[in-house]
Protein backbone atom coordinates (compact mmCIF):
# COMPACT_ATOMS: atom_id res chain seq x y z
CA UNK A 1 0.00 0.00 0.00
CA UNK A 2 1.31 3.45 -0.95
CA UNK A 3 1.28 6.16 1.74
CA UNK A 4 -1.10 9.09 1.44
CA UNK A 5 1.34 11.35 3.25
CA UNK A 6 5.13 11.01 3.26
CA UNK A 7 7.40 13.22 5.33
CA UNK A 8 11.14 13.06 4.64
CA UNK A 9 13.78 14.57 6.97
CA UNK A 10 11.59 17.55 7.87
CA UNK A 11 13.15 20.32 9.98
CA UNK A 12 11.71 23.57 11.33
CA UNK A 13 13.45 26.17 13.47
CA UNK A 14 12.48 29.62 14.76
CA UNK A 15 15.63 31.66 15.00
CA UNK A 16 17.93 29.56 17.15
CA UNK A 17 15.09 27.48 18.57
CA UNK A 18 14.66 24.01 17.08
CA UNK A 19 10.98 23.02 16.86
CA UNK A 20 11.71 19.62 15.30
CA UNK A 21 14.54 18.07 13.31
CA UNK A 22 14.85 15.34 10.67
CA UNK A 23 11.32 13.98 11.11
CA UNK A 24 10.30 11.23 8.67
CA UNK A 25 6.99 9.36 8.66
CA UNK A 26 4.44 7.72 6.37
CA UNK A 27 0.67 7.87 6.92
CA UNK A 28 -1.63 5.46 5.07
CA UNK A 29 -5.29 5.38 4.03
CA UNK A 30 -7.47 3.60 6.57
CA UNK A 31 -4.73 3.74 9.23
CA UNK A 32 -4.29 5.79 12.42
CA UNK A 33 -0.80 7.19 12.99
CA UNK A 34 -0.51 8.89 16.38
CA UNK A 35 2.16 11.36 17.47
CA UNK A 36 2.83 11.66 21.19
CA UNK A 37 5.40 13.43 23.31
CA UNK A 38 5.83 15.93 26.14
CA UNK A 39 4.58 19.50 25.82
CA UNK A 40 7.01 21.42 23.63
CA UNK A 41 8.09 18.32 21.71
CA UNK A 42 7.12 19.95 18.39
CA UNK A 43 3.88 18.07 17.66
CA UNK A 44 1.59 20.99 16.82
CA UNK A 45 4.39 22.81 14.98
CA UNK A 46 4.75 19.68 12.85
CA UNK A 47 1.02 19.80 12.05
CA UNK A 48 1.32 23.49 11.18
CA UNK A 49 4.18 22.71 8.81
CA UNK A 50 2.39 19.78 7.17
CA UNK A 51 -0.65 21.95 6.46
CA UNK A 52 1.21 24.96 5.07
CA UNK A 53 0.99 27.38 8.00
CA UNK A 54 4.77 27.19 8.34
CA UNK A 55 7.36 26.55 5.65
CA UNK A 56 9.96 23.92 6.60
CA UNK A 57 13.62 24.87 6.72
CA UNK A 58 14.53 21.61 5.02
CA UNK A 59 12.99 18.28 4.09
CA UNK A 60 10.11 17.27 1.86
CA UNK A 61 6.37 16.62 2.22
CA UNK A 62 4.51 14.49 -0.32
CA UNK A 63 0.76 13.98 -0.49
CA UNK A 64 -0.43 11.25 -2.84
CA UNK A 65 3.00 11.28 -4.44
CA UNK A 66 3.09 15.02 -5.16
CA UNK A 67 5.29 17.45 -3.28
CA UNK A 68 3.26 19.93 -1.25
CA UNK A 69 5.74 21.68 1.08
CA UNK A 70 5.64 25.38 0.29
CA UNK A 71 2.04 25.32 -0.94
CA UNK A 72 -0.54 27.59 0.77
CA UNK A 73 -2.92 26.03 3.28
CA UNK A 74 -5.89 26.41 0.92
CA UNK A 75 -4.14 24.42 -1.83
CA UNK A 76 -3.19 21.65 0.59
CA UNK A 77 -6.77 21.47 1.86
CA UNK A 78 -8.15 21.28 -1.68
CA UNK A 79 -5.78 18.39 -2.43
CA UNK A 80 -7.43 16.41 0.37
CA UNK A 81 -5.65 17.10 3.65
CA UNK A 82 -7.69 18.78 6.42
CA UNK A 83 -7.11 19.39 10.11
CA UNK A 84 -8.56 20.45 13.44
CA UNK A 85 -6.78 22.65 15.97
CA UNK A 86 -5.62 22.20 19.54
CA UNK A 87 -7.47 25.42 20.39
CA UNK A 88 -10.96 25.34 18.87
CA UNK A 89 -11.34 27.76 15.96
CA UNK A 90 -15.02 27.73 15.08
CA UNK A 91 -16.99 30.69 13.72
CA UNK A 92 -18.57 31.53 17.06
CA UNK A 93 -21.41 33.69 15.76
CA UNK A 94 -22.48 31.16 13.11
CA UNK A 95 -24.69 28.16 13.68
CA UNK A 96 -23.29 24.66 13.63
CA UNK A 97 -24.88 24.17 10.21
CA UNK A 98 -23.34 27.37 8.85
CA UNK A 99 -19.89 26.36 10.12
CA UNK A 100 -20.13 23.23 7.99
CA UNK A 101 -21.38 25.12 4.93
CA UNK A 102 -18.46 27.56 5.10
CA UNK A 103 -16.04 24.63 4.88
CA UNK A 104 -17.96 23.19 1.95
CA UNK A 105 -17.21 26.31 -0.12
CA UNK A 106 -13.76 24.84 -0.81
CA UNK A 107 -15.52 22.26 -3.02
CA UNK A 108 -18.19 24.56 -4.46
CA UNK A 109 -18.26 24.83 -8.27
CA UNK A 110 -20.67 27.77 -8.55
CA UNK A 111 -19.38 31.25 -9.41
CA UNK A 112 -20.10 34.72 -8.15
CA UNK A 113 -22.59 35.32 -10.99
CA UNK A 114 -24.55 32.25 -9.86
CA UNK A 115 -24.72 33.76 -6.38
CA UNK A 116 -25.78 37.22 -7.56
CA UNK A 117 -28.42 35.94 -9.97
CA UNK A 118 -29.44 32.99 -7.77
CA UNK A 119 -29.32 30.73 -10.81
CA UNK A 120 -30.80 27.23 -10.80
CA UNK A 121 -27.27 25.88 -10.41
CA UNK A 122 -26.75 28.01 -7.28
CA UNK A 123 -30.09 26.98 -5.76
CA UNK A 124 -29.34 23.33 -6.46
CA UNK A 125 -25.86 23.66 -4.96
CA UNK A 126 -27.23 25.41 -1.87
CA UNK A 127 -29.80 22.67 -1.31
CA UNK A 128 -27.14 19.95 -1.67
CA UNK A 129 -24.81 21.85 0.69
CA UNK A 130 -27.46 21.95 3.41
CA UNK A 131 -28.18 18.25 2.97
CA UNK A 132 -24.47 17.36 3.21
CA UNK A 133 -24.06 19.58 6.28
CA UNK A 134 -26.93 17.87 8.07
CA UNK A 135 -25.46 14.49 7.16
CA UNK A 136 -22.06 15.44 8.60
CA UNK A 137 -23.61 16.77 11.80
CA UNK A 138 -25.52 13.52 12.12
CA UNK A 139 -22.36 11.48 11.53
CA UNK A 140 -20.73 13.04 14.62
CA UNK A 141 -23.91 12.92 16.68
CA UNK A 142 -24.80 16.61 16.91
CA UNK A 143 -27.51 17.09 14.28
CA UNK A 144 -29.89 18.16 17.08
CA UNK A 145 -27.88 21.38 17.55
CA UNK A 146 -27.67 22.26 13.84
CA UNK A 147 -29.26 25.68 14.34
CA UNK A 148 -27.48 26.56 17.59
CA UNK A 149 -24.74 29.18 17.57
CA UNK A 150 -21.31 27.57 17.86
CA UNK A 151 -20.40 29.74 20.87
CA UNK A 152 -23.39 28.36 22.81
CA UNK A 153 -22.44 24.71 22.37
CA UNK A 154 -20.82 22.75 25.22
CA UNK A 155 -17.11 22.22 24.81
CA UNK A 156 -17.40 18.56 23.81
CA UNK A 157 -19.92 19.38 21.08
CA UNK A 158 -17.67 22.15 19.77
CA UNK A 159 -14.90 19.56 19.39
CA UNK A 160 -17.24 17.32 17.39
CA UNK A 161 -18.36 20.27 15.26
CA UNK A 162 -14.75 21.10 14.41
CA UNK A 163 -14.23 17.52 13.21
CA UNK A 164 -17.40 17.69 11.12
CA UNK A 165 -16.27 20.99 9.61
CA UNK A 166 -12.93 19.46 8.63
CA UNK A 167 -14.77 16.51 7.07
CA UNK A 168 -16.83 18.93 4.97
CA UNK A 169 -13.75 19.49 2.79
CA UNK A 170 -13.85 15.76 1.90
CA UNK A 171 -10.33 14.95 3.11
CA UNK A 172 -8.51 11.72 2.41
CA UNK A 173 -6.10 12.55 5.23
CA UNK A 174 -7.44 14.09 8.46
CA UNK A 175 -5.08 15.64 11.02
CA UNK A 176 -6.57 15.80 14.53
CA UNK A 177 -4.70 17.94 17.07
CA UNK A 178 -5.67 16.76 20.56
CA UNK A 179 -9.36 16.20 19.75
CA UNK A 180 -9.93 14.60 23.16
CA UNK A 181 -8.69 17.58 25.17
CA UNK A 182 -11.19 18.56 27.86
CA UNK A 183 -13.61 15.74 27.08
CA UNK A 184 -15.26 13.61 29.76
CA UNK A 185 -15.16 9.78 29.51
CA UNK A 186 -18.48 9.57 27.63
CA UNK A 187 -17.38 12.19 25.11
CA UNK A 188 -14.03 10.44 24.71
CA UNK A 189 -15.78 7.18 23.88
CA UNK A 190 -17.92 8.98 21.28
CA UNK A 191 -14.74 10.47 19.80
CA UNK A 192 -13.11 7.05 19.58
CA UNK A 193 -16.11 5.70 17.67
CA UNK A 194 -16.02 8.64 15.24
CA UNK A 195 -12.32 8.13 14.53
CA UNK A 196 -12.67 4.36 14.13
CA UNK A 197 -15.56 4.86 11.70
CA UNK A 198 -13.44 7.22 9.61
CA UNK A 199 -10.66 4.62 9.54
CA UNK A 200 -13.13 1.96 8.38
CA UNK A 201 -14.23 4.28 5.58
CA UNK A 202 -10.62 4.54 4.38
CA UNK A 203 -9.68 7.97 5.69
CA UNK A 204 -6.08 8.31 6.82
CA UNK A 205 -5.79 9.72 10.35
CA UNK A 206 -2.80 11.58 11.77
CA UNK A 207 -3.50 12.13 15.46
CA UNK A 208 -1.95 14.10 18.31
CA UNK A 209 -3.40 12.94 21.61
CA UNK A 210 -2.45 12.99 25.30
CA UNK A 211 -4.99 10.42 26.49
CA UNK A 212 -2.74 7.38 26.47
CA UNK A 213 -5.57 4.87 26.84
CA UNK A 214 -7.11 6.32 23.68
CA UNK A 215 -3.75 6.23 21.88
CA UNK A 216 -3.08 2.61 22.82
CA UNK A 217 -6.63 1.54 21.96
CA UNK A 218 -6.99 2.93 18.43
CA UNK A 219 -3.52 3.59 16.95
CA UNK A 220 -2.03 1.43 14.22
CA UNK A 221 1.37 3.07 14.73
CA UNK A 222 2.78 5.54 17.25
CA UNK A 223 5.61 8.04 16.79
CA UNK A 224 7.15 9.54 19.92
CA UNK A 225 8.78 12.97 19.76
CA UNK A 226 11.05 14.39 22.44
CA UNK A 227 12.67 17.82 22.13
CA UNK A 228 11.81 17.91 18.44
CA UNK A 229 13.41 14.59 17.57
CA UNK A 230 12.01 11.12 17.00
CA UNK A 231 12.51 9.08 20.15
CA UNK A 232 10.71 5.93 19.04
CA UNK A 233 8.32 4.53 16.44
CA UNK A 234 6.27 1.33 16.47
CA UNK A 235 2.97 -0.36 17.20
CA UNK A 236 1.29 0.54 20.52
CA UNK A 237 2.35 -2.64 22.31
CA UNK A 238 6.00 -1.85 21.54
CA UNK A 239 5.77 1.81 22.50
CA UNK A 240 4.03 1.11 25.80
CA UNK A 241 6.99 -0.92 27.10
CA UNK A 242 9.84 1.01 25.47
CA UNK A 243 12.21 2.04 28.30
CA UNK A 244 13.17 5.34 26.63
CA UNK A 245 9.52 6.30 26.09
CA UNK A 246 8.59 5.37 29.65
CA UNK A 247 11.44 7.45 31.01
CA UNK A 248 10.77 10.50 28.82
CA UNK A 249 7.00 10.54 28.69
CA UNK A 250 4.77 7.73 29.95
CA UNK A 251 6.21 7.35 33.42
CA UNK A 252 5.03 3.75 33.62
CA UNK A 253 4.31 0.94 31.21
CA UNK A 254 0.76 0.83 29.88
CA UNK A 255 -1.21 -2.32 29.24
CA UNK A 256 -2.14 -2.54 25.59
CA UNK A 257 -5.70 -3.89 25.06
For 109-150, the pLDDT digits (tens) are 555 555 565 666 655 667 787 889 999 999 999 999 999 999
Residue spans per domain, the chain: 1-80+171-257, 90-170
* Distance, CA of 28 to CA of 172 (rounded, Å): 10
Q: What is the pTM of this model?
A: 0.88
> Which residues make beta-bridge pairs with 222?
34, 234
Structure confidence at residue 89 (pLDDT): 87
Structure confidence at residue 248 (pLDDT): 74
Could you give the percent of the chain with pLDDT greater than 90?
Answer: 71
Structure confidence at residue 114 (pLDDT): 55
Structure confidence at residue 117 (pLDDT): 55
198: nearest Cα among 50, 31, 80: 31
Structure confidence at residue 33 (pLDDT): 98
Structure confidence at residue 55 (pLDDT): 95
Give residue 102's pLDDT band: very low, low, confident or very high (50, 70, 90). confident
Structure confidence at residue 246 (pLDDT): 85
Structure confidence at residue 128 (pLDDT): 80
Backbone angles phi, psi at 174, to 5 degrees: -115, 125
Burial class (CB in 10 A: 0-12, 13-18, 19+), 142: buried
Report the CATH fold assignment for 1-80+171-257: Rossmann fold (3.40.50)
Nearest 5°: the CA angle 28, 183, 139 is 55
* Distance, CA of 128 to CA of 126 (rounded, Å): 5
For 193-246, the pLDDT digits (tens) are 999 999 999 999 999 998 988 999 999 999 999 989 999 999 999 998 898 888
Give residue 15's pLDDT band: very low, low, confident or very high (50, 70, 90). confident
Structure confidence at residue 245 (pLDDT): 87
For 31-76, the pLDDT digits (tens) are 999 999 988 889 999 999 999 999 999 999 999 999 999 899 999 9
Mean pLDDT of 174-190: 92
Mean pLDDT of 178-189: 91
Structure confidence at residue 20 (pLDDT): 95
Backbone angles phi, psi at 58, to 5 degrees: -155, 165
Amino acid sequence: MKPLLSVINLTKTFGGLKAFQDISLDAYPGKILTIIGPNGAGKTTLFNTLTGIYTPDSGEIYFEGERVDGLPTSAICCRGMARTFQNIRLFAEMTALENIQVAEFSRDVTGWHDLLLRTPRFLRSEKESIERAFHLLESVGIVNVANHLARNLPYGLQRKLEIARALATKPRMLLLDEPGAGMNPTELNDLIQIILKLREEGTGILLIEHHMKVVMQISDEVVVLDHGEELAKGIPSEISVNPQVISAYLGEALTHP
